[in-house]
Amino acid sequence: MKNWIGIGLALSALALTGCGGHKGSSGGSSSVAAPVSASATLSAIDPAEGGELGGNTVRLTADGFVDFQVDLPDVTLGGQPLSGVVAVSTNVVEGIAPAGSAGAADVVLTQGNTSASLPGAYTYRSAELSSLSPGLGRGQGGTPVRIETAWFSADFATTTPEVLFGTQPAASVTAVSSTAIVAVAPAGVGAVDVTVKTTQPSQSATLPRAFRYDPLAPADIELSSGRNNPGLLNAAAPAAGVTVAQVRVSARVEASLDELTLQAEGTVDESTGLGDVLLYHDVNGDGALDAGDQQLGQGQGFPSNNAPLTFSGLGLSLQAGGEADVLVAVELLGAARVGDVVAFRVVGRSAKGTLTASGTPALVGGAATSGALQVAGAQAPSTIHFEPSANAPAATQVAADAAQVPVLALRVTTTTGQIDLQGLTFWTSGTGDDARDILAARLAIDVNGDGQIDAGDTILGTATPQRDDGAIHFSFWSRRLASASSSYELLVDYTLSGSAPVGATYTLSLAPSGVNAHAYYTDGGQVATLSSTPLSSAALSVSSAASALSVRRHNVPAKVLAGSAEGLALGLELAAGQGSDVDVTGVTVHASGTLDDAAGIDAIRLYGDDGDGVFDPTSDPLLAGPATFSADDGDLALTFAARSVAAGQRDRLWISATLASGLPAGQTLVLTLDPATEVSANQAVSGGQVTGSAIVTGSGLAVAVQPGPAEGKDAYIRGEGLYLNDNFGHTAGLSVGDRPTGQLGERLSFLE
């Protein structure tokens, strides 16, 4: 009896082991094989990818197996077992993925003699950087860069990774989520790799050449003259609270403006002729000092003539993409002499700001200038008056690539004697993007008053808006209204780039603050009046898409090259019409300047843009060249395989010059082309003549000369070139060969 009972218990134990004793998660095996099923399948694994270090939970769904809650299966990924396998239901199990090599891995589920697989169904991912923004920053460092990552095992919220820009560590790293960080770029040069590393566990990912250091990188905070910046100013001394400037402060990222330095210039002795100077936040942006405007910092006076004033502790906060206006108000003292003038300038390079995200210094760029404040005497001011011309353009509908379309016509008169008009600043508005869509704006004296710029008219200048809803500046030789009731007609026309969508609108306006004029024969100063304020054009609207390829100049700063250096001579922006793609196959450029182009240029090369909008010969694809000019001031054709510009899209081409060694300093090179005849494409090409920026040969040494303030004007250099300021709030760029002329109190003009 005892033997029988023992045998019965052993069989019962064996039966129980065969049904439920298999432990796939611990590597055990059943002593009795599970039944084989020819219909067993593995239908899904979720997720189907994971990091190469494993550690993530995966779920598998199968059919045709014994109930997983009774008999737990083995699961492998790439031959390595899952750990911690548990049954979720009769046909679903979960487990922790093992580590594996990057790439596809087979998934196998085994239960006794029954198995099923999904070949290559699971993918191991290496750690990667999925995005980086911005990809451009200033050379001195300080740019906050947001980096999104994937497949790192570490949680950045608890483990801060190391970030390298090239070989230099980031100035600081801050986690914004478990997979995203903000790293402040260190100082650097050129394009560099960006690498993120963790030590626990050890992982690393790199984006090659993902961040580019650029001395012309956009500023975090930009200063410019405000839309309601006062223009012609006259005040009898003494006078308090005279608003002399409105400074527009624009932020590209969230930041605060903390410090501004104000420089006064002119014939007024600021230490005796001016009292307190104060800054205000112009809350409503109207350019006038109102009760609701908020004082920024503390008021102060000039300790000496021509001394700068620095205002600290401003704390003017701006959101990303936000704008604010700052007013400059001065006290004019009785010691100021009648006829003297004073103007004010603020320059971004002397201002300070802080980036909100990182607490690091913000890059402040741009500049703003006031109008000239003249100490008025007893005589009446001279008046210059603007009103719509009899032939003012009506509302007009045009194609997106229309050329030389009249926009605004003005009649200019004086009623009180001689006055010289020396410059005009217009403001753009409308639903279109002015900087993108307006290829060129021309200002002319419409001699015959027919409302068109034609052969007999005098072109005063050509300009383009630098930003949407921004200013268009024209400076020109003085145009004198010699006596009372004398007049002339002015006309502005647009050439559009072809990029505007149907329905886009454009309006141009003039305010009194945009008038720069001077009266020489009265101590009462000068006044600009308008028949309406602002004086605005009728709307120009786009009624049809562009039918051609339009070509415009991509702004490139002039540069000095020494030795056998390569420099960008001409940038082209191509915009295809909405109708169809355009294939471009060549350009022809013409050389000019004092450099012997045949002997002094080793190579001309043409590159396509790699999509970042910045010239870099190490990453942009070479399309044509190297080629050379056969004669001085000659033409050079550059042909290449068809480069397609998609309908409604834009592209850029870069043309560089590599100079010969041993050239004397001071030689100049300028490249030009006429898009209509010198750009080869399978469709018509439009656009006015394109002129590159000057390349000047140099010795490798830099010398800057600045005349003293008593000279009435001063030259200075900033990143994009040489500038001359006339001490009356007007600044103009100088090109090589320019010869500034003028006298104190007169707007300076330049020969191009």
Locate 340 and state its tokens. Answer: 């003297």
The reply to whether 228 and 299 lie within a common domain is yes
Tell me if residue 12 falls in helix, strand or coil.
helix
pLDDT value of position 650: 84
Residue range(s) defining the domain that contains residue 360:
222-375
Q: Residue 5: enclosing H or E segment and its boundaries? A: helix 2-20
If phi over 0 gives left and psi between -120 and 50 gives alpha, with beta otherwise, what is residue 612? alpha
| Cα–Cα distance measured from residue 118 to residue 45, given in angstroms and rounded to the nearest whole number | 9
| Cα–Cα distance measured from residue 310 to residue 261, given in angstroms and rounded to the nearest whole number | 4
For residue 345, how many other CB atoms are within 10 A of its CB? 23
Q: Is the peptide bond before 134 cis (omega within 30 degrees of 0)?
A: yes
The reply to whether 391 and 532 lie within a common domain is yes
Locate 137 and state its tokens. Answer: 């920053």
Bridge partner residues of 440 (DSSP):
495
| Cα–Cα distance measured from residue 192 to residue 213, given in angstroms and rounded to the nearest whole number | 8
Q: What is the DSSP letter of 741?
A: B
The reply to whether 137 and 114 lie within a common domain is no
Tell the residue number behind the tokens 């000039």, with chain if given: 302
- Residue count of the chain: 752
The reply to whether 116 and 133 lie within a common domain is no
The reply to whether 258 and 163 lie within a common domain is no
pTM exceeds 0.75: no
| Cα–Cα distance measured from residue 516 to residue 657, given in angstroms and rounded to the nearest whole number | 39
Q: What is the DSSP letter of 350?
A: G
The full DSSP string for 63-92 is: ESSS-TTTSBPEEEETTEE-EEEEEEETTE
The reply to whether 308 and 407 lie within a common domain is no
| Cα–Cα distance measured from residue 448 to residue 433, given in angstroms and rounded to the nearest whole number | 32
| Cα–Cα distance measured from residue 339 to residue 96, given in angstroms and rounded to the nearest whole number | 86
pLDDT value of position 124: 96
| Cα–Cα distance measured from residue 509 to residue 451, given in angstroms and rounded to the nearest whole number | 17
CATH code, domain with 574: 2.60.40
The reply to whether 192 and 273 lie within a common domain is no
Give the phi and the psi of residue 14 in degrees, each rounded to 5. -65, -40
Answer yes or no: are the C-beta atoms of 190 and 125 closer than 8 Å.
no
Give the phi and the psi of residue 2 in degrees, each rounded to 5. -65, -45
Q: Is the peptide bond before 201 cis (omega within 30 degrees of 0)?
A: yes
Answer yes or no: are the C-beta atoms of 92 and 113 closer than 8 Å.
no
Q: Where are the alpha helices (DSSP H) in 142-234?
A: none
Q: Angle at Cα 749 formed by Cα 668 and Cα 715, nearest 5°?
A: 65
Q: Which of 125, 147, 181 is the last residue of a domain?
A: 125
The reply to whether 55 and 91 lie within a common domain is yes
Tell me if residue 17 falls in helix, strand or coil.
helix
The reply to whether 430 and 511 lie within a common domain is yes
CATH code, domain with 170: 2.60.40.10
Answer yes or no: are the C-beta atoms of 31 and 23 closer than 8 Å.
no
Q: Is the peptide bond before 534 cis (omega within 30 degrees of 0)?
A: yes
Answer yes or no: are the C-beta atoms of 236 and 380 closer than 8 Å.
no
| Cα–Cα distance measured from residue 483 to residue 549, given in angstroms and rounded to the nearest whole number | 48
| Cα–Cα distance measured from residue 402 to residue 506, given in angstroms and rounded to the nearest whole number | 13
Task: Find the farthest-apart pair of alpha carbons in the chain and give their distance in angstroms, rounded.
Answer: 141
Give the phi and the psi of residue 356 in degrees, each rounded to 5. -65, -40
| Cα–Cα distance measured from residue 68 to residue 23, given in angstroms and rounded to the nearest whole number | 11
The reply to whether 708 and 664 lie within a common domain is no
| Cα–Cα distance measured from residue 593 to residue 604, given in angstroms and rounded to the nearest whole number | 16
The reply to whether 596 and 585 lie within a common domain is yes
Q: Is the dihedral of CA 111, 116, 121, 125 positive or negative?
A: positive
Q: Which of 375, 407, 438 is the last residue of a domain?
A: 375
Locate 660 and state its tokens. Answer: 């010969």
| Total domains, the chain | 6
Number of helices and strands in the chain (H, E): 5, 60
The reply to whether 412 and 558 lie within a common domain is no
Give the phi and the psi of residue 25 in degrees, each rounded to 5. -75, -20
pLDDT value of position 698: 77
Give the phi and the psi of residue 390 in degrees, each rounded to 5. -60, -25
Q: Which of 314, 349, 375 is the last residue of a domain?
A: 375
Chunked mean pLDDT (size 10), the chain, 752 residues: 34 32 37 52 94 94 92 94 95 96 95 93 95 84 88 94 96 92 89 94 94 79 90 89 94 94 92 96 93 94 93 95 95 92 89 84 86 87 92 92 92 86 92 90 93 91 88 85 83 88 95 86 84 92 84 78 84 84 95 93 94 85 95 95 89 93 88 92 84 79 40 38 42 38 31 25
Q: What is the DSSP letter of 599?
A: H
